Amino acid sequence: MSSPHNPSQNHLLAALPPAEFERLAPHLELVPLLLGQILYEPGGQLQHAYFPTTAIVSLHYVMESGASAETAGVGNEGLVGMALFMGGDTTPSSAVVQTAGHGYRLAGRLLKQEFNRAGLTQRLLLRYTQALIAQMIQTAACNRHHSVEQQLCRWLLLTLDRLPSQELIMTQELVASMLGVRREGITQAAGNLQHAGVIRYRRGHISVMERSGLETRACECYSAVKTELARLLSDVRYRQEISAVAG
Amino acid sequence: MSSPHNPSQNHLLAALPPAEFERLAPHLELVPLLLGQILYEPGGQLQHAYFPTTAIVSLHYVMESGASAETAGVGNEGLVGMALFMGGDTTPSSAVVQTAGHGYRLAGRLLKQEFNRAGLTQRLLLRYTQALIAQMIQTAACNRHHSVEQQLCRWLLLTLDRLPSQELIMTQELVASMLGVRREGITQAAGNLQHAGVIRYRRGHISVMERSGLETRACECYSAVKTELARLLSDVRYRQEISAVAG
DNA sequence: CCGGCTCCGTGCGGCAACGCACATACACCG
DNA sequence: CGGTGTATGTGCGTTGCCGCACGGAGCCGG
């Protein structure tokens, strides 16, 4: 039987056409991604791209003062390391594992190679990059105009969509550093949500009780990001579907 | 003699290798870009890409409430219409002319065509896109952590770098809507700057007197954006330089 | 079962930006 | 050259978030 881990758990890998997938598959290496692990630092040369399956990675910008802010998150819908094929080799932001889990690692050289064949892989990667851009734009606007509670709800929903369970292993401190706000601000907002019965938590564990509650309290940014991702990747087919159609 | 307008006033066009430039040149159409003109709206089908020469275009996100925020600006260093070659055809943000001037327009179809040849043009466009992403990331973080005055300075510097003169035709109201803050906030910040002798203005005209003053008051975000743009496009050659070397 | 580390709750003062309301004053146009 | 519209200055009170400081409490390891 197949192992519990499978590259197709990552949506981008799952969407590659068979020929292109077969070329990459032998080089995909399953790696554990540990909470807090840094996949790359600003300015550092990227050696690998990562296709998360169960892990979630946060793209983070850290300012001179030490203050930081997440600009986008990457889960099983995407990949970390866009700078490899965009040509810059590195970015001024860093990538940190926000939820522990696994992902598939691919040597940067091979990703570039496949990208430069200018086939469907290229097309797919560019589409995904555009979705990532949309997420960053949304984050920029959200940072400007929405309250901490709204942003917390947005963030919880986005994270939830990338996880199999309803529970996040996550301290408030960590959430605060993601959103770039004070820890106390999160305590406050989370307290409200708990009071309303929307979430519950114990030390380092946040459980979502009532997803719809988050949706009504979140700002429009959540659905905007989801909609744009769906739009951009709507016409991609997964190999399974293709073979189902073919068979 | 040559007209005062020339496609090479746009840095991207100037950096295209001769063969690729020659293919596009006959289709480049000089158009005036009027203050406030909307080049595209969220979700609208993009028909053209624009390579600004003397104009500056603002990429803007407008929220349901009507509140808005600039996520990046495009001047003679770039192009408007990245969604054409990224594959999404449209974006959730809009593009508005922030400083009147001119630009060259190119049919979307032709840009895609050239991009798909997977030559140096593609490489160049992707590099530029990465620079644009860096700008958006920076904006997101800046929105979170920096004061209105710092942001105003950053914004003035970025705008100034795209203009031949030291004067911006720009009401405070307009600047406020770019930064996504209150008009009064700009009045206040600009008042400080004027008091310090850094800028001067009359109704709708902002003149920079002492650029270094802006630089010291701006947050790190200005130089971060500039540095990243320079890094990403550092190894591109302009046709003039190439022929100079060749000749 | 106990100590200690980390995480979470809370309270205070402060400040920057907001929303609103109006006074002023410039620039243009007839 | 006066009138009108729009741009700018200013002053409120309000609020959301910050910085700091400390108390309490869960969880883990010994």
A171-203 pLDDT, tens digit each: 999 999 999 999 999 999 999 999 999 999 899
Q: Which positions 65-94 of B are in contact with A (Cβ < 8 Å)?
A: 65, 67-69, 71, 82-83, 85-88, 91-93
Quote the pLDDT of residue B246: 54
- The answer to whether the CB of A12 falls within 8 A of the CB of A79 is yes
Per-residue pLDDT of chain B (247 residues; tens, 9 = 90+): 556 899 999 999 999 999 999 999 999 999 999 999 999 999 899 999 999 999 999 999 999 999 999 999 999 999 999 999 999 899 999 999 999 999 999 999 999 999 999 999 999 999 999 999 999 999 999 999 999 999 999 999 999 999 999 999 999 999 999 999 999 999 999 999 999 999 998 999 999 999 999 999 999 999 999 999 999 998 777 766 666 655 4
Distance CA A41, CA A61 (A): 10
Quote the pLDDT of residue B167: 94
pLDDT beyond 60 at A99: yes
Helix, strand, or coil (residue A199): strand
Nearest nt to the CA of A150 via C1' is: D16
A200-223 pLDDT, tens digit each: 989 999 999 999 999 999 999 999
Q: Which of B70, B189, B200 is nearest to B140 (CA)?
A: B70
The mean pLDDT value for A6-16 works out to: 96
DSSP code at position A45: P
Q: What is the mean pLDDT of chain A?
A: 94
pTM: 0.94
Instruction: Determine if strand D comes within 7 Å of the CB of A75.
Output: no
Label residue A20 by pLDDT band (50, 70, 90).
very high
A118-138 pLDDT, tens digit each: 999 999 999 999 999 999 999
Quote the pLDDT of residue A247: 45
Q: Does A126 touch chain B (CB under 8 A)?
A: yes
Distance CA A176, CA A185 (A): 8
From chain A, pick out residues whose CB is under 8 angstroms from the CB of B63. 141, 145, 220
Quote the pLDDT of residue B234: 85
Q: Does A46 touch chain B (CB under 8 A)?
A: no
The distance (Å) linking the CA of B151 with the C1' of D20 is 27
